[in-house]
Amino acid sequence: MNSKLAIVIPYFKATYFGETIDSLASQSNLNFKVYIGDDHSPDPPDGMLEKLEQKVEVIYHRFAENLGGTNLVAHWERCLDLVEESSWICILGDDDCLSENFVEEFYQHLDRLESENLDLLKYGVEIINEHSEVTKEIMPEKELSAAAAFTEKFYGEGHSSLSEFVFSKKAYNTYGFRNYPLAWCSDDMAWLDFSEGKIIPVSSKAHVKFRLSPESISGSKHDVKWEAKRQFFRDLVLEKATLFPKKVQLMNLKRFEIFTVKTRNLRGGHFGFFLNRYFKLGRLDECLKFIIRFVVNKIRQ
């Protein structure tokens, strides 16, 4: 069967992987391929794939060295390189799960995605804990631009994670993923890149189960995350400002300033950089506040 959908799993931890595999084996539509890129895990998934292999084609590759520990985006890239003819991709975390109609919903949207030249499909999410208990549910109610979805995530009640999107291989080949530390915000920037300002269709009938547990990256390495956010908000300010209304541009600029200070990257050249942008946003009050903050932060350095 010629499947248009590839589900790619950058694998390292076995703790919840059985649940991930069960969710794939339980799909109501089995027209997909699974690619598993083993990041030289100390716990290879021996014996865990048999159930799935009886239902769909599974391509398993164990890499000779661990890469995700130092460069997670590079590990994503080598996993994506495993994909052959499929033109649509979902990168699924090795501790996340899919609702049983996830693939079916993709094919329900495929005609529109192709006819309107759209490159992303967004799903709902159930956030689960280490006991697989649902702690929060967020189902998309309407289509959004990537900029509006970003605004909801960072400044509202929205949610976005890598596993919640299906994207076209064409868009990935064009833009790739930005190589931010820990791949933190790399997916957020990808959706802004991949969508090219177009609307993102949503599936309100299917969802991803996104796991937040003590083993997840979300609760650690704050200093590295600050650097990733500094780079991310820098790129937003420099490349994506026109996608946002002035109110959000101001919030993004302030975030870039905050993480520049937190990472001790504030330099003399930043004085003119930030002052000019606050001025262009028509915020003389923010210009004055920034001058005071800049002087205080330089003294502290």
Percent of the chain with pLDDT over 70: 98
pLDDT value at 1 more than 80: no
Residues in the chain, total: 301
Check whether 143 has a pLDDT greater than 60: yes
Compute how many other C-beta atoms are within 10 angstroms of the C-beta atom of residue 171: 20
Residue 141, pLDDT score: 80
Give 221-279 pLDDT, tens digit per residue: 678 999 999 999 999 999 999 999 999 999 999 999 999 999 999 999 999 999 999 99
**Would you say residue 134 has pLDDT above 90?**
yes
Distance (Å, whole) CA 58 – CA 33: 6
pLDDT (0 to 100) of residue 217: 60
**Residue 154, number of CB atoms within 10 A of its CB:** 18
Instruction: Read off the pTM.
Output: 0.94
Residue type, 157: E
pLDDT band at 300 (very low <50, low <70, confident <90, very high): confident
Domains of the chain: 5-219 (3.90.550.10), 222-300 (no CATH)
13-17 CB contacts, 8 Å cutoff, 24+ apart:
13/41, 13/43, 13/94, 13/95, 13/215, 14/41, 14/43, 14/44, 14/45, 14/48, 15/95, 15/213, 15/215, 16/94, 16/95, 16/132, 16/211, 16/213, 17/45, 17/48, 17/94, 17/95
Q: Which residues pair with 88 in a beta bridge?
A: 5, 168
Question: What is the 3-state secondary structure of 231-294?
Answer: HHHHHHHHHCHHHCCHHHHHHHHHHHHHHHHHCCCCCCHHHHHHHHHHHHCCCHHHHHHHHHHH
What is the tens place of the pLDDT at every residue in 186-201? 999 999 999 999 999 9
What is the model's pLDDT at position 220? 57
Give which of 50, 34, 39, 33 is closest to 13, Cα–Cα.
Answer: 39
CA distances from residue 220 to 31, 155, 223 in whole angstroms, order as listed: 37, 22, 9
Tens of pLDDT, residues 97-112: 999 999 999 999 999 9
| Crossing angle between the packed helical segments 284-300 and 246-262, to the nearest 10 degrees | 10
